[in-house]
Chains A and B, each alone.
Chain A
Amino acid sequence: NAGVMQNPRHLVRRRGQEARLRCSPMKGHSHVYWYRQLPEEGLKFMVYLQKENIIDESGMPKERFSAEFPKEGPSILRIQQVVRGDSAAYFCASSRDRGHYGYTFGSGTRLTVV
């Protein structure tokens, strides 16, 4: 079992470019969650998705950020026109049955905006 796979591990973007972060959940998991971690902080919930549906995006900034989880393929977190403040570690987690059996986290993508 490969666990939750995130790529890339590290991503450098210039201000104004787009960043695309990918997450493949564990086999058998249909619930995907994205979190952002700023230095020396805990993780902040961004969005919760199931296949082809956004269930809760209350933690997503209203502009420039979007997420999807298509029928086929990984979940994508997309950040348009990145700014320095977007620099952070972005973690994806997956679960079955909405977390009753716990959440498994991926290794994260560390985004640096220069």
Chain B
Amino acid sequence: ELKVEQNPLFLSMQEGKNYTIYCNYSTTSDRLYWYRQDPGKSLESLFVLLSNGAVKQEGRLMASLDTKARLSTLHITAAVHDLSATYFCAVDMNRGGADGLTFGKGTHLIIQP
């Protein structure tokens, strides 16, 4: 069974600081996704990482994938309050023709002025 673990689960940080969220997964998978969720809202797609060594950046967020280590990171640079949200990583289940995502529990990020 595919397991996806994120850490930390809760993170409070100050504006202007840098931090990294980690996502480990237990079995081989083709694709890894990062999503953002604001309270009471749906999931907003941030990144799709398709291959080993993939790195994608959008604004103050950068995501990377190491398939050998089964690890993805989401790095936040010079955090601003607007980035406060819950961030999920998810991995394609890729099981014999049936797809869908297995999610981590999410990282609740609070950025304080």
Interface centre among A56, A103, A108 (most CB of B within 10 A): A103
Please give 13 more A-B residue pairs, beta carbons under 8 A apart, in addition to A43-B103, A99-B100, A101-B48. Answer: A35-B101, A42-B88, A43-B43, A45-B100, A56-B98, A56-B99, A99-B31, A100-B31, A102-B45, A103-B33, A103-B45, A107-B41, A108-B42
Rounded to whole Å, the gap between the CB of A112 and the closest CB of chain B is 13
Within 8 A of A (CB), among B33-63: 33, 35, 41-43, 45, 48
**Which interface class (under 10, 10 to 19, 20 to 34, 35 or more) fits A?**
20 to 34
Residues on B close to A: CB < 8 A? 4, 31, 33, 35, 41-43, 45, 48, 88, 90, 92-93, 95, 97-106
Q: Count the A-B residue pairs with Cβ separation under 8 angstroms: how many?
A: 61
Return chain A residues, CB-CB under 8 Å to B106: 41-42
Rounded to whole Å, the gap between the CB of B29 and the closest CB of chain A is 11
Rounded to whole Å, the gap between the CB of A59 and the closest CB of chain B is 8
Is there contact, CB below 8 Å, between A106 and B42? Answer: yes
Known: A42-B103, A42-B105, A48-B100. A104 touches B88 (CB 8 A): no
